[in-house]
Amino acid sequence: MGIKVTDVAFVRFQAPDLDVMQSFFEEFGLQVSERTDDTLYMRGTDDDGFVHVTHLGPEPAFLGLAFEASSVDELHELAAHADFSDVGALEGPGGGSVVRATDPNGFQVEVVAGRAPLGALTAPAAEPHNDAHARTRTGTALRLGAGPSHVKRLGHCVLEVLDFRATEGWYKEHFGLLTSDEIQLDETMALGAFLRCDRGDAFVDHHTLFLLGIGRAGFNHAAFEVADFDDLMRGHTHLTAHGRHAQWGIGRHFLGSQIYDYWLDPHGHMVEHWTDGDLFDNTTPPGIASIGTLLGSQWGPTHGGPPA
């Protein structure tokens, strides 16, 4: 028996210098929520206490990811399963409760609930736009301030896994995830899948977790939603001006349809800015897609191509 998680909550990393991480992620558009001698908690403009955590440690490393549950009672349901720890206190701003498990690839997976909302931070207002369909901005000029993007929230995490089917089974059993699109090499061989949360008739992101079965366990990327397209472009300009490493973008994906822009953090861990993704409820049937569709773009550079 499992539960149905409601979203991804945060990712944890280890790094040897918190100043280096803070500097990059402030330029990326996160904001410091709390910093102790050994831990850096960073947040988006939504009211969660943190979406990205860095623990001070000798080697840069991805430590794991966390999902959100709708109640502490559900954490106790998970804790009854042998794979999960007892329910404990979640450290960091906003507090809350947590259970922990290790997935079939050795990744730490946390599930949290009961976090205190810290209040939303200022995000850019929605600007009216003029295009071929509508003239909504009249009599006034559009002026966008320069600076970092405004990261709203963590949207999804992508893991490279040893055995796709075994890993998919583990996440679906415990967390109730649904398949949005499965990537198939041919009719007999699945490479991975985009999985979303099951929140009934509520619309959720096309993917909260993407599992890529390539025979090794590793972090691929974490993706953060920004305010809108202008905000994504503003952030691209800002990161470029600070000499940061653009990895892939800017383009629009097929699977999930979001506009994407990928960067590398100071230790080579990939992080994505995205906006305007698809939203599905639990009635959308699973799709099947090729690796070409996975790596292609509706517009923008093909995968591995130079940043646009």
From residue 198 to residue 227, the character string flagging contacts with Fe ion as x (rule: CB under 5 A) and all else as - is -------------------------x----
Backbone angles phi, psi at 235, to 5 degrees: -65, -35
CB closer to Fe ion out of 84 and 171: 171
* Closest-approach residue to Fe ion (CB): 223
Q: Say how many residues touch Fe ion, by CB under 5 A.
A: 2
When asked if residue 272 is in the footprint of Fe ion (CB under 5 A), the reply is yes
Letters for 221-260 (x = contact with Fe ion by CB under 5 A, - = none) are: --x-------------------------------------
Exposure pattern of 186-213 as b/e (b: 16+ CB <10 Å)?
A: eeeebbbbbbbbbbeeeebbbbbbbbbb
Residue 84 per-residue DSSP state: B
Strands (E), 71-207: 88-89, 97-102, 108-113, 151-161, 178-186, 189-196, 204-205
Site for Fe ion in 31-60 (CB under 5 A): none
* Shortest distance, position 156 Cβ to Fe ion, whole Å: 6
> Whose CA is closest to 34, among 46, 14, 17, 48?
48
> Is 165 or 303 the residue whose CB approaches Fe ion more closely?
303
Q: How far is the CB of 79 from Fe ion (least distance, A)?
A: 30
Per CB under 5 A, 160 contacts Fe ion: no
Query: Quick one: which segment of 8-16, 53-61, 179-187, 266-274 binds Fe ion (CB under 5 A)?
Result: 266-274
Integer CA distances (angstroms), 223 to 104, 205, 271, 272, 277, in order: 22, 12, 6, 4, 12
Give me the residues that bind Fe ion (CB under 5 A), please: 223, 272
